[in-house]
Structure 1
Amino acid sequence: MSAPLKNDRLLRALRREPVDTTPVWVMRQAGRYLPEYRATRAKAGSFMALAQNPELACEVTLQPLERYELDAAILFSDILTIPDAMGLGLSFAQGEGPQFAHPVRTRADVERLGVPDMESELRYVMDAMRVVRRELAGRVPLIGFSGSPWTLACYMVEGQGSRDFATAKAMCWSDPALAHTLLETLARSVAAYLSAQAAAGAQALMIFDTWGGLLAPSAFREFSLRYLAHVVTALKSDMRARDIPLILFSKGASAHLYEMAQTGCAALGVDWTIDLADARNAVKGKVALQGNLDPAVLRASPEVIRREVRRVLDSYGNHPGHVFNLGHGITPEVDPEHVKVLIDEVHAYSRVLRAA
């Protein structure tokens, strides 16, 4: 874990320092679009068996770096590891996404929950982090991550994936005190989880608030943003994590970028529903920005991919503090060669921008 970084573009960009070319990584860069990932998952037998095996998790974490000139690795895991460690019985049904055997619906359900022990219930995550750091040998930084308190609560209350998470939202209206009790426990858990990842070797951290955009503005501030801020504050006071840059990504919440920038995070992920120029103006130079190509562009021709990459880079302009990424995760049907086109164009065109 002490090997010096050979490529620190990501960390420099997150600190809004100059870089020779815009760093790029891709959400879900280790995943079903890669044939080698599908082969390793088949060997593991299931998604959870893969995620809970540190050596195999390392293998799939490194697979995209063998194909592409990426500027970061992100640990292969899942955002629902915390509720699984709380005993909710996580499983993944074929073609149906995550399901919990024991949803959280009542006060008794919530009161049974506690912050998991990170080196017992979630040791497999920390072991995987340590293995990946060793195998990377300083090649690129390693990103650790968690789901946000609100997003975790959505799945825990609903018991499965959903388009609108109406059951979780209903709890906020019918029993807001119960919702806050759940979210407070989750905020403490997320902070402890990310701190443990930092201690195990993460060099950057990210929180995925995937379902923040489902909330109306006042509800977003009360049930999502409030707990994102709690996590940031906790990490800032934790000697293991306070110097690790933290990225907040709340999908569909572009209207709240200025407020999120006030939390003390290093960077904000941005989805494709806002131009980066507008996002940069919104945060007033307070944080770096990550994003924001529409993942569907990767299903277009190489010519279109290159054009849209240039459009995103032009929108941000020749300013420090940009990490190129998709506006959400890569989808399984994408041609792996199209990802190479994207990464190569980011590096090539951003060099041109810096030379202008």
Structure 2
Amino acid sequence: MNRRQRFLETMTFGSPDRPASGDYFYYESTRRRWESEGLPKDANPLEYFGMDFDPFAWKIPHPELFPPVPDFGTTALEETEDYRIERRPDGEVVRVLKNVPPPAMPQWISYPLQTLADWPEYKRRLDPDTPQRLPADFPQMVEGEYRNRDYPLGMWVGGTYGYLRNWWGVENLSMLLFDNPALIEEMIETLTHLALGLLDRVLSTGVELDWVMFWEDLAYKSGPLISPAMFRKFCLPFYHQVMDRVHSAGIPIAMVDSDGNIEKIIPMWLEVGVTVMHPMEVAAGMDVAKIRSQYGKSIGFFGGVDKRVLASTPERIRAEIRPRLESCFADGGYISACDHAIPPDVSLDNYRYYRDLVAEVSRQLYGG
């Protein structure tokens, strides 16, 4: 069974030869640490660890989050020994620490949209038909690399609240939800047009997709930043329309990426057919076993492994993670992965121990 088959069998509760494995290796700081601990400098972590799925590596080649095109460029506005203030391509202005690499977060100083007058120009840059949104040789990629691939290929297809929050900031957006609902509806209609238009451009080439991923990051530790009622009113129409297109195209897996505690939003995603939740952030109280007990096999997961545990000791990794693996692998519909990109406080030995543990439980339950 190849990687593509294993991914599809796992996430559709089929009969994989073993559960699909996945993660994503996003932080250069983690890579540098692992290389100092023995990871070959030319190693592809996906191949090195025998992964079946990475939503950042095996995807349609456009940015995961739909940017404005043309973008605003990167401009340094101030620089010291310790930090740099810069305007980024999306239009936000941030302060970045120079000596502390990601996952250290920048400080947001201003957002792309400051007043209502800023929206028309920003909207103009969200045209799905802008040629630069896909590589010029994309049709050749479809006929070449993608045609006989052995890995699961998919596409990031946008979102709602997360985008608006990036444009306005949490406080301003929270006010707009009450003060200007018509603008909220217009912005989400624009995002719907962008998602559908780009999805149609991709599908028109004849490429066969295995998954789509929405992006939201709409929650914090204790719950969503938008009420369930407002999510249903403003955001769910986007999901209905995009998922109608996904279903009509026969794309089997629809996932959503949102950090934080998303429990109150999950029922609405399931309602429209988004069935795989990621990353299931443990620090925010997201528990794969608990959510599975509520929704059964109507829901799947990619994630759910506490990054803080991976940074601890092998003994703690085995004690806390092995029972979860046994339960989740037995149920199916689960790809074990870190509950966010793997941070640099996770050693190569610890990560390798965790992956060996995944293989051990897989053999126990599936043989081989």
Do the two structures share a fold, i.e. TM-score over 0.5?
A: yes
User: Shift in Å at residue 223 of structure 1?
Assistant: 3.8
Whether the 8 Å CA contact 2:289–2:324 is kept in 1: the answer is no
Residue 297 of structure 1 corresponds to 309
Residue 80 of structure 2 corresponds to none
Taking structure 2 as the reference length, the TM-score comes to: 0.72
Residue 54 of structure 2 corresponds to 73
Is 1:326 aligned to 2:343, yes or no?
A: no
Whether the 8 Å CA contact 2:33–2:347 is kept in 1: the answer is no
The number of residues matched between the two structures is 320
Whether the 8 Å CA contact 1:246–1:266 is kept in 2: the answer is yes
User: Shift in Å at residue 349 of structure 1?
Assistant: 0.6
Partners of 2:136 and 2:358 in 1: CA distance = 31
Residue 255 of structure 1 corresponds to 264
Residue 27 of structure 2 corresponds to 31
Counterpart secondary structure, 1:313: helix
Counterpart secondary structure, 2:272: coil
Q: Deviations over 1:107-158 (max 9, x none)?
A: 4433341442356131249859949x83997343234325422111111123
Whether the 8 Å CA contact 1:10–1:23 is kept in 2: the answer is yes
Partners of 1:125 and 1:244 in 2: CA distance = 27
Whether the 8 Å CA contact 1:194–1:205 is kept in 2: the answer is no
More helix by share: 1
User: Shift in Å at residue 17 of structure 1?
Assistant: 0.7
User: Shift in Å at residue 93 of structure 1?
Assistant: 5.9
In structure 2, the CA distance between the partners of 1:233 and 1:337, relative to structure 1 (3 Å rule), is: farther
Q: Alignment partner for residue 116 of structure 1, among 96, 114, 127?
A: 127
Whether the 8 Å CA contact 1:73–1:143 is kept in 2: the answer is no
Counterpart secondary structure, 1:34: helix
Structure 2 regions of 5+ residues with no counterpart? 36-40, 74-87, 98-104
Is 1:285 aligned to 2:310, yes or no?
A: no
Partners of 1:125 and 1:221 in 2: CA distance = 38
Structure 1 regions of 5+ residues with no counterpart? 39-58, 159-164
Whether the 8 Å CA contact 1:69–1:343 is kept in 2: the answer is no
User: Shift in Å at residue 202 of structure 1?
Assistant: 4.8
**What RMSD in Å do the two structures reach over aligned CA positions?**
3.8
Taking structure 1 as the reference length, the TM-score comes to: 0.75
Partners of 2:127 and 2:252 in 1: CA distance = 22
Residue 185 of structure 1 corresponds to 190
Is 1:140 aligned to 2:151, yes or no?
A: yes
Partners of 1:100 and 1:328 in 2: CA distance = 25
Partners of 2:112 and 2:268 in 1: CA distance = 31
User: Shift in Å at residue 182 of structure 1?
Assistant: 0.7
In structure 2, the CA distance between the partners of 1:180 and 1:111, relative to structure 1 (3 Å rule), is: same
In structure 2, the CA distance between the partners of 1:135 and 1:249, relative to structure 1 (3 Å rule), is: closer
Is 1:268 aligned to 2:270, yes or no?
A: no
Q: Partner amino acid for 2:218?
A: W
Whether the 8 Å CA contact 1:119–1:126 is kept in 2: the answer is no
Counterpart secondary structure, 2:14: coil
Q: Partner amino acid for 2:272?
A: T
Counterpart secondary structure, 1:329: coil
Whether the 8 Å CA contact 1:25–1:72 is kept in 2: the answer is yes
Q: Which has the higher contact order (CA 8 A, sep 6+)?
A: 1
Q: Deviations over 1:47-74 (max 9, x none)?
A: xxxxxxxxxxxx99x8221321111133
Where do residues 235-246 of structure 1 align in structure 2 (5 Å cutoff)?
Answer: 235-237=246-248, 239=249, 242-246=250-254
Is 1:63 aligned to 2:18, yes or no?
A: no
Partners of 1:85 and 1:202 in 2: CA distance = 24
Partners of 1:84 and 1:226 in 2: CA distance = 22
Q: Which has the larger radius of gyration?
A: 2
User: Shift in Å at residue 324 of structure 1?
Assistant: 1.7
Whether the 8 Å CA contact 2:4–2:151 is kept in 1: the answer is yes
Q: Alignment partner for residue 321 of structure 2, among 309, 313, 330?
A: 309
Percent identical among aligned pairs is 19
Residue 82 of structure 2 corresponds to none
